[in-house]
Amino acid sequence: MPRPPSPDLATALNAWFADAARPLPWRAAEVSPWAVLVSEFMLQQTQVARVVPKWEAWIRRWPTPAALASEPPSESVRAWDRLGYPRRALWLHRAAVEIVERHGGEVPDDLDALLALHGIGPYTARAIAAFAFGRRHPVVDTNTRRVIARAVLGQAQPGPPSTARDLAEMSALLPATDAAARVFNAAAMELGATVCTARSPDCDACPIAASCAWRLAGYPAYDGPRKAVQARFEGSDRQVRGLVMRELRAAHRPVARDELTGLWADAAQLDRAIDGLVADGLAVADPQGGLGLPSA
């Protein structure tokens, strides 16, 4: 059986984080709640190194929700470029419009109000409330889940995600004060991202190694249920969709369907990718059969 968590786990991690935290731009004290919200949209399933330059360019161009909402969604998609999962760009634009219409252009600090914005789910809402406003909410990402699995549960890897279970496990570790809880949320993520990594954990550099249940148990291999593995990108519909989106972003005009035929040898797969983009609102067909980015 894994040992119960050390009562000093949060204290140790918060002290470590004070010196070990990466200087990510959205962590700066002067950033706005909107800048934090943008970072959370961009960081979903995307590496930090890819996000930083896109985030910096985005905030320079659209420093407020109103600035983004005043432009068509096509500009949001175009600026998103190759960051991946471009529906996030549409969702972010729509959320900006909703913030302007419902909240006077200010990002709300209430969890329910955040959840009501387009594209914001339980994780993102809690992350914005915690990191932008200092609210005491458990914030659990992939890195946090791995830290809890190892340090508290004695497992090499976490099991499949479960919102209720994951939030309960993090809530049990969360310090009582808002300020300490905010730091601990970030510190647990940072530890998982930089030290307690999936493939090569650096236990010698870990500030909680002495109380880690997995280490104390002798690093047993994980034999529990596993989350589904995403299909390969190469040759997938996602790759074809990305090629089509690249052409639409670059064109600044409707692109005739036959202009896209050279992008992919499998015509049926290309048609399926295009139809999927239209269904998702990322592409719009005009009366002449051309394809473009959404304008409204």
What phi, psi does 136 have (nearest 5°)?
A: -85, 90
**Is the separation of the CB atoms in 283 and 90 below 8 Å?**
no
**Is the separation of the CB atoms in 48 and 142 below 8 Å?**
no
3-state secondary structure 35-59: HHHHHHHHHCCCCHHHHHHHHHHHH
Rounded to the nearest 10 degrees, the angle between the axes of helix 237-251 and helix 73-80 is 120
Helix, strand, or coil here: 4? coil
Which residues are CB-neighbours of 12 under 8 A, at least 6 positions away?
6, 207, 208, 211
Q: What is the residue whose two structure tokens read 């609210």? A: 135
What phi, psi does 119 have (nearest 5°)?
A: 85, 0
Residues annotated as catalytic are 40
Among 119, 120, 65, which Cα is nearest to 91's?
119
